[in-house]
Chain A
Amino acid sequence: MTRLSGVPLKFTFDGRELTGYLGDTLASALLANGIHQVATSIKYGRPRGIVAAGVEDSNALVQIDAPFPEPMLSATTVELYDGLEARGLRGRGRLATEPDPARYDAKHAHCDVLVIGAGPAGLAAARAASGRVLLVDDQPDGEAPEGVRFLSRTTAFGIYDDGFVLALERRGEPVAPERLSRQRIRRIRAKRIVIATGAHERPIVFPDNDRPGIMLAGAARTYLNRYGVLAGSRVVVFTTNDSALDAASELAGAGAEIVRIVDAREGYGVIGTDGGADGHITAAHIARLGEMQGERVECDLLLVSGGWNPAVHLFSQARGKLRYAPELGAYVPDGDLPTVSVVGAAAGEGLPETKVLWQVPAPKSEVDTRFVDQQRDATVSDVLRATGAGLRSLEHIKRYTTIGTAHDQGKTSGMLAAGITAEALGADLATQRPTTFRPPYTPVAFAALAGRHRGDLHDPVRVTTIHPWHVEHGAEFENVGQWKRPRYYPRPGETMHDAVLRECRAARNGVALMDGSTLGKIDVQGPDAGWFLDMLYTNMMSNLKVGRIRYGVMCGVDGMVLDDGTVIRVAEDRFLVTTTTGNAAKVLDWMEEWLQTEWPHLSVFATSVTEHWATIPLVGPKSREVLGRLAPGLDVSNDAFGFMTWQDAEVAGIPARVCRISFSGELAYEINVRSWHGIALWQSIVAEGATPYGTETMHVLRAEKGYPIIGQDTDGTVTPQDLGMSWVVSKKKADFLGKRSFARAENNRPDRKQLVGLLPVDPSVLLPEGSQLIESEVVPEPPVRMLGHVTSSYHSAALGRTFALALVRSGRERIGETLYVPAGDRVVPVTVTGSVLFDEEGARRDG
């Protein structure tokens, strides 16, 4: 026997400095250093050792402390590296509190055939496959056949529909963490999948079967052959099948003394073990099966084999059917799926026939030490308690006992639990349904799943072409969907409150501009465009004259407001529709839904042009002067360029479409240029002395005028009538979306919530948005009758006080009444008013 040659690696375990070799796992390095015990058990604190050599190990959980904290890894799957610091873990671990410096990423892959597992069966399948063949294997080494793409250190952990497989590639510990990812999710799409994942050896349950030094026979072989580690020197082998005999002869060949082979097929079993002060096994008690007194045989390693469970996890995830194979004592695939096949040991092929022995009949004891799931400290008694409580289904017993719910997901314990349950119930396993296998097959770190989606890349941040100016000039931003929009532009020393009042005054008394480029814009073209928009909007659009603009409201088929905006008639057969920032994609989808499903005969084409245009509202009594200076070729007089009309002109030397619309009640223009000219236009307007304002000021200005924001003042249960906008609902049109719903009794209830204004009796009190409205000055005992809620609330520079908009039951009937808003520990009296609080007669819009 030779140990791994090559590079020695220093590592620390439980504070002890140890040496292993390149190619070791933490588990093999520990065994080579004579360490079997890794941890103590979660419930009873019993010493626990290394049971297996792969992902199926139930015991050897460790916490990595350095180089970076990672909890709950299995020592059998941690590749050793220099400087690793780890310790055994009793159950839960410690998550890092500092950010993970390593990189994680994902990569897509496509193939005709994906072979999972590079054992003999997998290699043969890969060799036989044609087309693009991808072979993945969870071990660090291995060689692929000619023409086959091979990914080592790669564990396929989930199979999804249509040949989609997720795999985790461990790319080794970071050697260039600033450039290379440590772990990578492989997102594989395969036309065919061949599962060659092998089998996991099954333990046998007997008293004190959980001591360090009790190991699966196949694991001892792996440690010997792959890592050059002999796990013990005096060995007892307890088996139900021939495979453990190979392990025995190989260990004997490496110098171990095989002191006894206990073969259940010959009627013998292990009925208990003894341990030393450290809990490590010192002897096995051997008896005829059924007898309670046995012979004590000293040993330092007990190898166990109760047969082999095909690793059917991925096949079951793919919804492959399983059947019980009595000659194996395990579930095997019951035929292939159309595109997913199973080969080799995973299909039950080549596995040794076995006597089925789940547990050894054992003497009664006060404390049950017959462990079924060692990680969960669950015993035979726990299974019997579940069946005794009347549970029959394996799924229910799993949940009741927690067997199979640990990091190993019952890879060694699941079948034992099924067998012991069947014995207890006198049931046939062929009629029992095994528990469902779900992804992931092995634990996967959230960091790996997150990949690059961290920090700046967590979610796209959408910005306009004018954004760099906003950043440079100190704007504070708010998120509107994925957009970052300037909320206000504080000057040195200004609070948000100060800045917003200043921006509002500039818009109402001078001239101000904002970046409105995020507004949704849709080009609607075609001879039937007028008819189409008549159906989409509650008001008439087909009679709009070319050159003119109209405000419109869209409703869903339920009659609830969906979106609003302006409609520009560009030409006889062409309109430009604007939507709210948040609903741009939704409105385009809405149009396409009707065009594609209900009215495919229409000749109408909708195209998003949101980002083609940069849009800058220019607002305030002095906006006409500024526009006049910037667009000398444009007659900006009220007669030549009236409210709700548009003109094409050069503004600051840039071809522009100028619309005279207002969302503030002031004289205002909206200047649209190709987005790549946005920042040049913005700078030209600022140079004319206009004050930039953000979304907060926009909100105040529009709220003072009672203009609702769809999605803030509405919530999908609000009709145009509720908003006090019956005028926008056509009585002439034969039909439009939502029309029928307006006739519903529910839509005509007098106590519907309606949009009104609220003036706090104390003009300095700002109501929190979302506050509820009640009728009494004192909050009564619950249940409290809620009359509605505050949807918008601001300080108004123009009014010199606070105000709010609210949806209130029978709101318009309550105008003049006093209602109450519980806000924190006080109740604020408010007066209900109409929703238009400023310039009710609209005197300001023409300047």
Chain B
Amino acid sequence: MTVDAVEEPFRTQLTVRLRDGHALLGADLPEPCTFTSRNGVDVLWMGPDEYLVLAEPGRQAELETALREAGAAAVVDVSAQRVTVRLTGAHARDVLAHGCSIDLDPAVSPPGTCVQTLLVRTGIILMVREEGFTILVRQSFAGYFTTWLADASLEYQEVPWPSR
């Protein structure tokens, strides 16, 4: 396939609110519309005082403690709120362009970019990585999301392109 979508289930997801401070979990805070990655933990900028911390499954309690000690004003476990999907492949950007109005040209949205936006009619968090995209979508919209994704990907199936 030239487009691959793989779910990464049960990941740790914590919403963190921070009024003062410049670092979280030993890393500088991400700039607006970006994320940082360190030791398997991604910190996503969500708003002027809001961050989303992503990590492998099962680290909720450990990270929540660390974040509170680091001065977080609020920490909320939202691990089961959204599903995480990795989208890779030569046409991943094309597929997203069918439903997402963000300019995903690497010159405009280089790896490390992170935005909250709409994919067609569902809200998503979109992370641009070196090897593709990570999309977080609310789990109640996951069915709509996958139906749309499968439909939008049809054109990019690896079968001979018919001549006009």
Contact = CB atoms under 8 A, between A and B. Distances in A.
B79 A612 contact: yes
Interface string B55-96: 000000000000000000110111111100000000000100
Given A612-B79, A675-B80, 17 more contacts: A105-B98, A105-B152, A107-B97, A108-B97, A132-B105, A175-B162, A452-B120, A453-B121, A457-B120, A460-B144, A461-B143, A603-B19, A610-B81, A612-B78, A674-B79, A676-B10, A676-B80
Interface stretch (A178-186, A318-326, A345-353, A768-776): A178-186
Contacts of A110: 103, 105, 108
21 contacts: A108-B100, A108-B101, A175-B163, A179-B155, A181-B155, A452-B151, A452-B152, A457-B148, A459-B121, A460-B144, A463-B140, A483-B140, A605-B73, A605-B74, A607-B17, A609-B76, A611-B82, A611-B138, A612-B80, A675-B81, A676-B10
A611 B140 contact: yes
Interface string A98-129: 00000001111110000000000000000000
B116 interface: no
Contacts of A676: 9-10, 80
A578 interface: no
A526 interface: yes
Nearest to A109: B97
Contacts of B143: 461, 463
Tell me which of A110, A187, A610 has the highest count of chain B C-beta atoms within 10 A of its own C-beta.
Answer: A110
Contacts of A180: 155, 162
Contact of A462 (B105, B141, B162): B141
A460 B122 contact: yes
B38 interface: no
A525 interface: yes
B2 interface: no
Place the interface of chain B in its size category: 35 or more
A151 B141 CA distance: 33
A180 B81 CA distance: 34
A597 to B, nearest CB: 14
B22 interface: no
Interface of B: 9-10, 15, 17, 19, 73-74, 76-82, 94, 97-101, 103, 105, 108, 120-122, 138-141, 143-144, 147-148, 151-152, 154-155, 157, 159, 162-164
Tell me which of B9, B10, B101 has the highest count of chain A C-beta atoms within 10 A of its own C-beta.
Answer: B101
B16 to A, nearest CB: 9
The list of the 8 closest CB pairs from A to B, nearest first, reads A462-B140, A460-B144, A525-B74, A605-B74, A110-B103, A674-B80, A605-B17, A612-B81
Nearest to B81: A612
A526 B72 CA distance: 10
A784 interface: no
Given A108-B100, A462-B141, A172 B73 contact: no
A456 interface: yes
A139 interface: no
A189 B103 contact: yes
A464 B140 contact: yes
Contacts of B120: 452-453, 457
Contacts of B154: 178-179
A175 B159 CA distance: 14
Nearest to A105: B98
A526 B141 CA distance: 30
A481 to B, nearest CB: 11
A583 interface: no
Nearest to A573: B74
Interface in A162-221: 172, 175-176, 178-181, 187, 189
A675 B159 CA distance: 38
Contacts of B140: 462-464, 483, 518, 611
Given A109-B97, A189-B101, A603 B82 contact: no
Contacts of B9: 676
A74 B59 CA distance: 63
A435 interface: no
Contacts of B82: 611
A608 B81 contact: yes
Tell me which of A189, A523, A605 has the highest count of chain B C-beta atoms within 10 A of its own C-beta.
Answer: A605
B164 A175 contact: yes
A607 B147 contact: no
Contacts of A613: 80
B81 A609 contact: yes
Contacts of B10: 676
A465 interface: yes
A591 to B, nearest CB: 13
Interface string A607-633: 111111100000000000000000000
Contacts of A674: 79-80
Nearest to B154: A179
A608 B140 CA distance: 13
A189 B97 CA distance: 12
Interface string A78-116: 000000000000000000000000000111111000000
B113 to A, nearest CB: 14
Nearest to A460: B144
A647 to B, nearest CB: 18
Contact of A611 (B94, B108, B139, B164): B139
Contact of A607 (B76, B139, B155): B76
Contacts of B15: 607
Contacts of B163: 175
Contacts of A611: 80-82, 138-140
A523 B80 contact: no
Contacts of A108: 97-98, 100-101
Given A178-B154, A460-B144, A607 B78 contact: yes
Nearest to A179: B154
B125 to A, nearest CB: 13
A526 B73 CA distance: 7
A705 B96 CA distance: 49
Interface string A381-422: 000000000000000000000000000000000000000000
Nearest to A452: B151
A178 B157 CA distance: 12
A460 B17 CA distance: 30
Nearest to B102: A108
A757 B18 CA distance: 49
Contacts of B122: 460
Contacts of A453: 120-121
Nearest to A81: B164
Given A457-B151, A459-B121, A107 B98 contact: yes
A677 B23 CA distance: 33
Contacts of B141: 460, 462
A525 B139 contact: no
Contact of A176 (B17, B73, B162): B162
A459 B148 CA distance: 11
Contacts of B157: 179
Contacts of B73: 525-526, 603, 605
A175 B100 CA distance: 26
A638 B32 CA distance: 51
A450 to B, nearest CB: 12
Nearest to A457: B148
B30 to A, nearest CB: 18
